[in-house]
Amino acid sequence: MSDPLRLGIAGLGTVGTGVVKIIQRHADLITARGGRPVVITAVSARDHTKNRDVDLSGYAWESDPVALAKRADVDIFVEVIGGSEGPARAATEAAIAAGKDVVTANKALLALHGQALAEAAEAKGAVIRFEAAVAGGIPVIKALTEGLAGNQIKRVMGVMNGTCNYILTRMESAGLPYEQVFEEARQLGYLEADPTLDVGGIDAGHKLSLLAAIAFGTKVSFDAVELEGIQKISIDDIRHAADMGFRIKLLGVAQMTGRGLEQRMSPCLVPSDSPLGQLPGGTNMVVLEGDSVGQVVLRGAGAGSGPTASAVMGDVIDLARGTRLSTFGRPAASLAAPVAAKANAPAPHYLRMTLQDKPGALAKIATVLGECGISIDRMRQYGHEDTSAPVLIVTHKTTRDAVDLALAGFTATGVMAGETVAIRIEQV
Amino acid sequence: MSDPLRLGIAGLGTVGTGVVKIIQRHADLITARGGRPVVITAVSARDHTKNRDVDLSGYAWESDPVALAKRADVDIFVEVIGGSEGPARAATEAAIAAGKDVVTANKALLALHGQALAEAAEAKGAVIRFEAAVAGGIPVIKALTEGLAGNQIKRVMGVMNGTCNYILTRMESAGLPYEQVFEEARQLGYLEADPTLDVGGIDAGHKLSLLAAIAFGTKVSFDAVELEGIQKISIDDIRHAADMGFRIKLLGVAQMTGRGLEQRMSPCLVPSDSPLGQLPGGTNMVVLEGDSVGQVVLRGAGAGSGPTASAVMGDVIDLARGTRLSTFGRPAASLAAPVAAKANAPAPHYLRMTLQDKPGALAKIATVLGECGISIDRMRQYGHEDTSAPVLIVTHKTTRDAVDLALAGFTATGVMAGETVAIRIEQV
């Protein structure tokens, strides 16, 4: 029997206590699979006195995670504090400086400082693993970094923020406006302290940028992710989309094109009867497309104590088994600085506009679309009682550039009554 | 730069040539990800002269795979010949005896001889990897062995034979009987030389037994898989199931219960609008259920040159990176001999029967069900013009034992006109 692998766990919230519970419950199973015992030697959190419904009496307590990270009796620093700066960053840097392996659930930290951390870790011969940072319990980092390592990756897509998916799903099922469901989600504790991280697409954008770095061998570049949140999605759009056979999801897409790396996290329409369209509330789905494997779809719980702790433990057991990978699947120094390109791959688009109710209005719109090279797949004009007419258009495949051109053209016609909503349609 | 990792590829069919193509196309990508070049030094196949649409001129040729396996310039023996005996087995044993790592796509070989091969490999310090043996390009062996290693696995399910899924899907969509679609599949080259491997559920059963060994830490025990093929599925059952909102899939389920290990590969009804119900033709889907992670669902191409070669290359690149796991995720000697238990977990069942058209017939059937403790969820009696009446029943959850008791009871009533079909309903 090898020596035990000793963990120091920084952060005892829902994920940290989840990890403690797994290790207490499954000591024998983990030893059998990992080839050596995995033990916790020390933990840290802000509040020592809080009741956490888990027995911590066997572990040393550190009030400072940096001190925890430096302890001689810690082999793996498990960082489940969260946040891109402050104690999480300081302690992770301290652990790496001390040559310790790091297992983290912290997408923000890696999305913003992943390259520097990866370089520091490699210089020290330490490993950073972060399965829990992306899509909760779904082993997608592993699938992409290892399982699909023989593929040139064509595209990575995913619904990776359960809170946004909950809000959009609930708006549709209950017929409630965004503001009301947002408030419900807040009361249910689904939202981050800064809710913009969720509904602004930032959290999901962090995750997408990590997948893109692995997929395309580029330095993680969260700054280059085009972010659009769900705050402007109206119940009208959800209803109209449903009428036409679509649902709205906050969907991330990353792909390498001839012009550079496209990364986009934005609301999209997906067919209601597609796997993405049928994704329930808090669930995540990631789609990986490789040149040999084709499309691999992974679905599971994107958050929560058990699923996230499961991902942490997968990384810990990998390390127990002696598996040691570069952070983003290849040496950090070999990652290329990506050329960011505007996400412009052709796709059908949904357009919702309101026209002034006067003769020739629709003809003007149709003319603008034609001039922009956009052809119409389907069009609906709804009955109306005032002087303006709601019109829905589903286009054939076109670029975002062409759509932007058309939106400017619509305004110039002088027949618009209000803003036009344009949402990309993805077929998965 | 480390020394190249040298492959010997035995078998140059669709998978073997797929592997050659990936290595030729992506040499740089593989080197970047694996940390060292991966090269092919030698290949073998039965027919040297056959045109394979791939340049083999740079590789030594061995007509005997055993000779290939023993070559001093081969580090990894890639076995993509297939078959549980003959050259595939002999060459794999020779490779292990020579201390070489093995990457294989051969489910039959591992399902029947996996324990002996794993023990032999471990005695020699060699590694056997077999991602390509289960569910083609889907990295499910990796997800289960590594990603979910912190979980007690509750259940593993999967549709893992694309040919059966094609036949069943095509029967429904074209309204054709089994025999006719079977003949189509044969002409399209979808069937194994011995088609019973596919339609008898044997191939899928091999795969299930490998997943079960990893999931439950037991010796692979294909003999204990309850096998039922799709040969008896009638177009009537497909239509009736569709009427009631179900599709028929050849579905494998493995779970550890208080009575022992249940392994079953059999046709099941699944809701038409569920992810399994919507699975298209040649696609595979595997569902992994862990105590912490909940349900993880993986979908992708279950066969074909590119997807299967992708899985082979994932294993090869793992070995290039220095990842070395026990064959079934823990030392072979520690795998327990499983106690096989009849698959009897409660589930709703679909019953199709034909009753003689006489007063009281249905009452007798209902009485038998009641006596067996089976309650009825839905029942339909179809219009008929002769003297017998087709009746469909969907039961509430009940065990297979209770269903078998009821089937015997039906016969004893003397009101049956023909055999009763009983198919389990799985909700995924």
CATH number of the domain where residue A246 is located: 3.30.360.10
Residue A313 lies in a domain: no
B37 contacts B4 by C-beta, under 8 angstroms:
yes
Q: How far apart are CA B57 and CA B76, in angstroms?
A: 20
Using alpha carbons only, how large is chain A's radius of gyration in Å?
A: 24
> Which chain A residue lies closest to B330 (C-alpha atoms)?
A33
> Which of A142, A146, A153, A214 to substitute to test the interface with B, most B CBs within 10 Å?
A146
* 8 Å CB contact of B309 and A317: no
Q: How far is B19 from chain A (nearest CA, A)?
A: 9
Q: Are residues B154 and B279 both part of a single domain? A: yes
Closest CA to A210 of A156, A147, A173: A156
Chain A residues whose beta carbon lies within 8 Å of the beta carbon of residue B292 = 18, 22, 137, 306-307, 309-310, 313
> Can you tell me the distance from the alpha carbon of B138 to that of A24, in angstroms, rounded to the nearest whole number?
32
The predicted pLDDT at position A192 comes to: 84
Which is it for strands B153-159 and B349-356: parallel, antiparallel or unpaired?
A: unpaired
Catalytic positions of B, written as ranges: 207
Which of B137, B148, B326 faces A296 most closely, judged by CB atoms? B137
pLDDT value of residue B2? 80
Tell which of B140, B310, B326, B328 to mutate to test the A interface (max A CBs under 10 Å): B310
Among residues A112, A102, A111, which one has the least CA distance to residue A9?
A: A102
Name the domain count of chain A: 3
Q: Looking at the structure, do residues B394 and B256 belong to the same domain, yes or no?
A: no
pLDDT, position A300: 97
pLDDT of residue A1: 57
Whether A212 and A260 map to the same domain: the answer is yes
| Cβ-defined contact of B292 to A309 (cutoff 8 Å) | yes
Asked if residue B341 belongs to a domain, the reply is: no
DSSP state of A287: E
Residues of B in contact with A149 (CB under 8 A): 30, 33-34, 313-314, 317-318
Comparing CB atoms, the residue among A22, A146, A322 nearest residue B314 is A146
> Could you say which of B151, B297, B313 has the minimum Cβ distance to residue A299?
B297
CB pairs under 8 A between A and B: 193
Tokens matching residue A117:
């951390």
Q: Give A276→chain B minimum CA distance, Å.
A: 10
Q: Do B146 and A331 touch (CB under 8 A)?
A: no
Tokens representing B246?
């179900």
| Residues of A labelled catalytic | 207
Binary contact (A297, B301; C-beta < 8 A): no
CB contact under 8 A, B301 and A294: yes
For residue A36, what is the nearest residue in chain B, using CA coordinates?
A: B330
B22·A147 Cβ contact <8 A: no
Tell me if A156 sits within 8 A of A207, measured CB to CB. no
The pLDDT of residue B1 is 57
Q: What chain A residue is nearest to B314 in terms of C-alpha separation?
A: A147
Optimal mutation site among B26, B31, B103, B293, interface A, most CBs of chain A within 10 A: B293
**Interatomic CA distance for residues A23 and A37, integer angstroms:** 10
* Contact status, residue B312 vs residue B132, Cβ threshold 8 Å: yes
Q: Which of B130, B146, B279, B317 to mutate to test the interface with A (most CBs of A within 10 A)?
A: B146
* Residue B252 domain flag: yes
Tell me which chain A residues have a C-beta less than 8 angstroms from the C-beta of B142.
139, 142-143, 146-147
Please tell me whether residues B200 and B71 are part of one structural domain. Answer: no
Q: Mean pLDDT, consecutive 10-residue segments, chain A of 428 residues?
A: 91 96 98 97 93 94 97 98 96 98 98 98 98 97 98 97 93 95 92 92 98 98 96 93 94 94 96 89 94 97 95 98 97 94 91 89 94 94 78 95 95 91 90
Q: Which domain holds residue B377?
A: 349-425
DSSP 8-state secondary structure symbol assigned to residue A217: T
Q: Which of B328, B314, B293 is nearest to A296 (CA)?
A: B314
The letter for the amino acid at B239 is: R
| Interface pTM, i.e. ipTM | 0.95
| Judgement on whether residues A158 and A281 belong to the same structural domain of the protein | yes
Question: Does residue B398 share a domain with residue B281?
Answer: no
Is there a domain that residue B339 lies in? no
Residue A370 lies in a domain: yes
pLDDT, one tens digit for every residue, chain B (428 residues):
589 999 999 999 999 999 999 999 999 999 999 999 999 999 999 988 888 899 999 999 999 999 999 999 999 999 999 999 999 999 999 999 999 999 999 999 999 999 999 999 999 999 999 999 999 999 999 999 999 999 999 999 999 998 999 999 999 999 999 999 999 999 998 888 899 999 999 999 999 999 999 999 999 999 999 999 999 999 999 999 999 999 999 999 999 999 999 999 999 999 998 889 989 888 999 999 999 999 999 999 999 999 999 999 999 999 999 999 999 999 999 999 999 898 888 999 999 999 988 888 899 999 999 999 999 999 998 877 777 788 999 999 999 999 999 999 999 999 998 889 999 999 77
Q: Which CATH number belongs to the domain containing residue B381 in this structure?
A: 3.30.70.260
Radius of gyration of chain B (CA): 24
Q: Which of A237, A270, A302 is the last residue of a domain?
A: A302
In this complex, the residue of B22, B33, B312 whose CB is nearest that of residue A330 is B33
Residues A145 and A259 in one domain: yes
Output b/e per residue, B21-48; b: 16+ Cβ within 10 A.
bbbeebeebbbbbbbbbbbbbbbbbeee
Q: Which amino acid, residue B356?
A: Q
A69 falls within a domain: yes
Contact, B341 vs B259, CB < 8 A? yes
A229 closest CA partner among A264, A281, A271, A263: A264
Cα–Cα distance measured from residue B224 to residue B218, given in angstroms and rounded to the nearest whole number: 12
B294-301 and B376-381 beta bridge pairing: unpaired
Indicate whether B235 and B380 sit together in one domain.
Answer: no
Test A275 with B278 for CB contact under 8 angstroms: yes
Say yes or no: A155 and A259 in one domain: yes
Q: What b/e readout covers B352-369, taking b as 16+ CB neighbours within 10 angstroms?
A: bbbbeeeeebeebbeebb
Q: Do B301 and A318 touch (CB under 8 A)?
A: no
Q: CATH no. for residue B34?
A: 3.40.50.720
Terminal alpha carbon distance of chain A? 47
Amino acid identity for residue A10 in this structure:
A
Whether residue A136 contacts residue B131, with contact meaning beta carbons closer than 8 Å, is answered with no
Indicate if B152 and B129 belong to the same structural domain: no
Same domain, B153 and B258: yes
Cross-chain Cβ contact A137/B294 below 8 Å: yes
Token readout for B82 is 């297939």
Q: List, in order, residues 6 or more apart from B336 with CB less than 8 Å away.
A: B217, B218, B219
Other Cβ atoms closer than 10 A to A92? 28
3-state helix, strand and coil shares in percent for chain A, rounded to the nearest 5: 40, 25, 35
Last residue of a domain, one of B133, B148, B179: B133
- Of the candidates B29, B33, B40, the one whose C-alpha atom is nearest the C-alpha of residue B5 is B40
Q: Which of B133, B149, B170 is the last residue of a domain?
A: B133
- Judge if B229 and B80 occupy the same domain: no
Say if B325 falls within a structural domain: no
Contact B134, B211 (CB under 8 A): yes
Q: For residue B419, tell me if it sits in a domain.
A: yes
- The answer to whether A306 and A387 have CB atoms below 8 angstroms apart is no
Measured in residues, chain B has a length of 428
